[in-house]
Structure 1
Amino acid sequence: MAGRNDHVIADALQALAQAIRNPNRGEVGGAVEYQVHYLGTPHQGLDRFQRNNPPSFSGGYNPDGAQNWIREIEKNFQVMACPEGQKVAFGTYTLVEEVEYWWENTRQCLEAEGQDVTWDVFNRVFLEKYFPEDVRNKK
């Protein structure tokens, strides 16, 4: 299992190196997108998101946990006035274990289909997987 995250670590290091080289761009490619502080202008970033102590979600059969995770992540987005373009990157950054691998595969499939992967799209596919409609209807 140790080698399974090597690509994520490599992507994060590459993104960090690019951010250091280009601090005024505000945007970097790779696994995690964030903006940096430049010339005293506060830009929302991953560090600010993490200071709000967002919960993680590990997957499995846990419909209530999935719904609660979404609710808490969205509260963090609201508090930090997170731009739409960063919600997927920040929210999915907190996914761990099984759900992290599920999302990586699902994201690739959505992009291959030509879909724009917005927070609403993520929300829909996430809830379909981890809080299925039949379970929602029973509640």
Structure 2
Amino acid sequence: MNSTTQKIRIDEVFTNYNPEGKLQLSGRCSFQFYERGEIQSGSLRFSAYGNCAVLLNEAGVGSVVIGTGRLNIASVEVEAGYKDKIATFTITSAEIIRSGAAQPQPQPASVAPINQPLQLAVVGASNGNHNGNGKHTIELEDIPF
């Protein structure tokens, strides 16, 4: 069995329903690999069915997914007399790393109207009743005894 686990980014998504009513998902994804000491990017077709398809559909285009499944290689006739091999990654289970569809929208801050302007006090300023440490000074004449 040719089971594989790939970290992919979903580039295109096409949805369809089978006669049983289950979601069928297909599209294109891209993955990265090392070749000759450099990071290369490749494109691959993918398909998913059922619950995995629902999860990938909700994640949307641009999402990064770790997918587990199998590679199916089919022979397709491209030109007359010429056949090409095309691989399709059939995803059976997926784990969403980063969602592409559900980006949080910034909410504007609501500001309550101010009826009176604020009175700003200077920090550390003294009006004569306070000493430098913020304590109120007491005049000895104010003591009743």
TM-score of the two chains, using structure 1 as the length reference: 0.22
**Is the helix fraction higher in 1 or 2?**
1
Larger radius of gyration: 2
**Is the strand fraction higher in 1 or 2?**
2
